[in-house]
Amino acid sequence: MEALALVHDPSMIREGRTYYVFSTGNPRVGGGGIQMRASEDLRQWRFLGTAQPEIPDWIPARLPGVRSLWAPDISHYNGRYQMYYAGSLFGKNTSVIGLCTNATLDPASPDYRWMDEGLVVETTGEQPWNAIDPNFVLDADGVPWLNFGSFWTGIKMVRLDPATRKPDGTEPHVHALASRPAPPHAIEAPCILHRPPYYYLFVSFDVCCRGVNSTYRIAVGRSASVTGPYVDAEGTPMAEGGGTILLETQGTAIGPGGQSVHRDPDADYLVYHYYEGDNEGRPRLQIRELRWAEGGWPRLGPPIIERRTP
């Protein structure tokens, strides 16, 4: 498979000199497990296969018909790499967020082995929110949180237990961060970056997964607290539909979204997919440096990965 083809909902991390990108699975590739790619320069990427050989049995037991895992979020915490991911049925809020961990991301290492940690958050259709698109974040005090969600009543957050990396049961159990009250309630793919004194919440507005007809675009707001309230550059609360647009369709790079943020010691990067308008609308990886304007709002540098010429 061409290294940058079929990348959807990417999440990036660096181990040593190597960057790794994890992305949504595809039933035609590795049985639907999370896809994995590597690069030393952010420009040239190689496909490493899937992070897990199979979808864990507990997911189809809860959600018959699941064919792939979605929207991974990779991070390093308490000495191990951890990857949250979602299992769902498209267009429904019967969903699960799972977790697996590893000592290393290098498949050549003898210590490389993904350990399934099981269920983290679940929605059964009874809840007014949706357990997909997880994102792990630490607050200023080192407390771990997981934000997630889409459509329905929007983006939510739960506090995690540092030992289990799962919800710790404190109240209120679910914090509301952002929503789009007007139909079709199209908001998803939350990602939080802590850049003191603010937490920045990046989300995707509108609709993905329709190739050249996708309308995804990336918006951002910020808050002095990890649990909000988040507001955009005009002061509109994200809980009331606010969000400053950071990136939208540009030429044949259609529907950018499904984003995550990676922090290097000397730079911040926005990692996302877009749909190739000149290649049948296939999803493809792109990375841009996040630059910070006066007033503390992010701006984007040019695309780092060279556009493929059909």
| Residues marked as catalytic | 9, 188
Distance (Å, whole) CA 62 – CA 158: 21
Please give, one letter per residue, the 3-state secondary structure of the chain: CCCCECCCCCEEEEECCEEEEEECCECCEHHHCCEEEEECCCCCCEEEEECCCCCCCHHHHHCCCCCCCEEEEEEEECCEEEEEEEEECCCCCEEEEEEEEECCCCCCCCCCCCEEEEEEEEEECCCCCCCCCCEEEECCCCCEEEEEEECCCCEEEEEECCCCCCECCCCCCCEEEECCCCCCCCEEEEEEEEECCEEEEEEEECCCCCHHHCCCEEEEEEECCCCCCCECCCCCEHHHCCCEEEECCECCEEEEEEEEEEECCCCEEEEEEEEECCCCCCEEEEEEEEEECCCCCEEEEEECCCCCCC
Tokens describing residue 60: 């189809």
Q: Report the alpha-carbon distance of residue 13 to residue 9 in Å, rounded.
A: 14
HSE-up of residue 150 (Cα within 13 Å, Cβ side):
28
What are residue 269's DSSP bridge partners?
262, 289
Distance (Å, whole) CA 181 – CA 229 = 16
